[in-house]
Every structure is written in structure tokens, then in C-alpha cells.
Amino acid sequence: MAKSLLKKYKRGFTLVEVLVAATISAIVMTVLASCIFSAMRVYSASTALAHTNVVANTIDKAVSSELRYAANVTVSGDNVFYTSRLYGENCEIRVNDDGDLVVECSSGAVPLLYKKHLADKDVYLSFFYNNGLIEYTVSFDNSVSSFIVDLMNS
């Protein structure tokens, strides 16, 4: 009768079995967590890059459409001065104190893109003029994009 009572109560797990199962579970959870965090980092980086490209292309469209029909273009340092078909003489494309991308002319400032269109990023522009080509560089969020406008073939 004593043997039958021992068999009846011996259905549980030993301490060693519980520790081995817990260790294996911890290892599996660690590997899964590592994979999930790695995937989240890749997703975050690719989303940021896509967003950066959208902002850079938005700036490119605004600046190139303005400069494509410009006349009397001169570049001095990081500034480009020109005569605009729409806004008149002595125009300059720049980022104002509010962070908006504007065409500033003798008649006043006209926004090309408001800062909200630039995803509230601090944007910096620099221009270089060579033989009818204006190359401009857009910098923001540790990202730099360069674009070229051909004034000769406009």
C-alpha cells in the first residue's frame, strides 16, 4: 500500500526539470526579443529615410520650379539672386527665421513651402552656379541631398 501511495503523488516535476524549462524559455524569449527590437530599428530607419526623401523632393520641386524660369541669376556664397517671372527683381530663395522656405524679393517675401510642409525640420540651403547649372544642396536631420537645375535648357 505504501508503494501505491508514492506512485499516486509522484506526478509532478522535479526542481531540475523546472529550472531547465525556465532556462530554455528565457533563452527563447531573449532571442525573440532581440529579433523584434532589431526589426523595429530597421523599420524606424527606413521610415526616417523615406520621410527624408519626401521632404527633399518637396523642396526640390519648389526650388527647381522657381529657378527654372529665372533670369539674371547670380550666386554669392550660399545665396542665389535672380529675377523671377512671378515675383519681380532682386529675388532670393532662402529659409526665413520661422523656418519657411521663401522667395524674398524687393516686393516682399512669398512662401514656397511653410515649415509644416517640411515636417518642422530645420532646413539649410546652399547654392553653386556653374555654366548655366545651379546645383543646390538641402541639409536637414543629418541628411544632405543635392539637386541640379539647368537654366540653359529651360
Q: For 6-36, what is each residue's pLDDT tens digit?
A: 566 667 888 999 999 999 999 999 999 999 9
Full-prediction pTM beyond 0.85?
Answer: no
Q: Which helix (H) or strand (E) holds 140?
A: strand 133-140
154 contacts: CB under 8 Å, gap ≥ 6: 68, 69
pLDDT digits (tens, 9 = 90+) for 46-61: 888 887 788 788 888 8
Q: Is the per-residue pLDDT at 79 higher than 60?
A: yes
27 burial type by CB count under 10 A (0-12 exposed, 13-18 middle, 19+ buried): exposed
Beta bridge partners of 83: 71
Cβ–Cβ contacts within 10 Å for residue 83, how many? 15
pLDDT digits (tens, 9 = 90+) for 86-114: 788 888 887 777 777 788 887 777 777 77
